[in-house]
Amino acid sequence: MTDEIDALGAKIDALKPKPQKADKSGFYESVGIRAGTELVVGPLVGGFLGFGLDKWLDISPIGLIAGVFLGVTTAFFNIYKLTIYGDTKPVAKHLKTANNSASNTPVKPQDSE
């Protein structure tokens, strides 16, 4: 009788799905595309806003230069958040969890396996 129970247990174990590791084949490509998009879109939007400010206030080229500078700064800050925290959720959420831990370093999100 115990042999039958052991055989049945082995059959049940064989039918259970095995845990598989998450496929991260496209993760780094998506991060790279996101970083490249940030580097292109940030200065373009800042430049357009600065150009509009130049035309509106007649302060050419100060608004354009300031807009591009702010766009580049914003792009680099977003890339920093993307590489450190894995997303661009508000930094305060991540810093709050870091301050509650023993060290004062940023907390990276855990990978689910």
Establish how many alpha carbons lie within 13 A of residue 20's alpha carbon, considering only the half-sphere containing its beta carbon: 5
What confidence score (pLDDT) does residue 8 get?
Answer: 85
CB-based contact 81:105 (threshold 8 Å): no
Using the 8-state DSSP alphabet, how is residue 108 labeled?
P
**Measured between alpha carbons, how far is 23 from 104 in angstroms, rounded to an integer?**
31
What confidence score (pLDDT) does residue 95 get?
Answer: 54
Using the 8-state DSSP alphabet, how is residue 20 labeled?
-
What confidence score (pLDDT) does residue 58 get?
Answer: 93
**Measured between alpha carbons, how far is 97 from 105 in angstroms, rounded to an integer?**
10
Q: Residue 72's closest CA among 43, 93, 44?
A: 43
What confidence score (pLDDT) does residue 17 get?
Answer: 81
What confidence score (pLDDT) does residue 13 get?
Answer: 84
- For the chain, 113 residues long, give each residue's pLDDT as a single digit of tens: 788 888 888 888 888 887 777 666 677 788 889 999 999 999 999 999 999 999 999 998 999 999 999 999 999 999 998 888 776 555 555 555 555 554 555 555 555 55
What confidence score (pLDDT) does residue 12 get?
Answer: 87
**Cα separation values, 83 from 30, 32, 94, Å:** 12, 10, 13
The CA R_g of the chain, rounded to the nearest whole Å, is 25
